[in-house]
Each structure stands twice: as C-alpha cells, then as structure tokens.
Amino acid sequence: MLESSTPSSVEANSARAVLASNLIRLRREKGWSQEILAFEAGLHRTFVAHVERQVRNISLDNLERLAKALSVHIHELLLPPN
C-alpha cells in the first residue's frame, strides 16, 4: 500500500527525511540525475523523486536496490548527518 505525506508534515529527523537527504547527497556526489540513479537501481525515476521529496514510503527491497546502486551499505542511507 502506498503511504504518502507532505514534506511539511514529516519531521526533519524522521527516517524519511534522513533517507531523502542521504539519497540526494550521495546521488549528487556521483554526479547522477534521479533518472540515472533510478536506472542503476532498476526503479522508475518518479519513484526516486517521490522518495527524495518524502512523499513515498519505501520497501526494504527498494532501499536495498538504491544502496547497491550507490555502492553503500543499507544502514548508511539511514544514518543522520553528523
């Protein structure tokens, strides 16, 4: 089931916010667009955009796909910034 919420209703330190921030940072460090990340992870670009905007809940399977595409461990996507 798809769960949505608006970014303004998501707390800044929520798992969704931390994940979104880390995805954006890691993607930009690689110089990748959302489309490239989506392709590398075997996902649709709009899905990546929704996760980055915190309006889409993500399954563990898709979290694993994104981590693998970004060459990081899954837990690194959920680590709050220092």
The pLDDT tens digits of the residues spanning 14-35 come to 999 999 999 999 999 999 999 9
Q: What is the DSSP letter of 48?
A: H
Coil, helix or strand for 61?
helix
Whether the pLDDT of residue 68 is over 50: the answer is yes
Task: Please tell us whether the domain made up of 12-77 is placed in CATH 2.60.120.200.
Answer: no
Q: How far is CA 70 from CA 2, 19, 32, 38, in A?
A: 24, 13, 10, 10
CA distances from 56 to 31, 71, 79 (A): 23, 22, 19
pTM for the whole structure: 0.84
Domain boundaries, the chain: 12-77
Contact 2, 54 (CB under 8 A): no
Mean pLDDT for the stretch of residues 30-46 = 98
| Average of per-residue pLDDT across 40-55 | 98
pLDDT surpassing 80 at residue 82: no
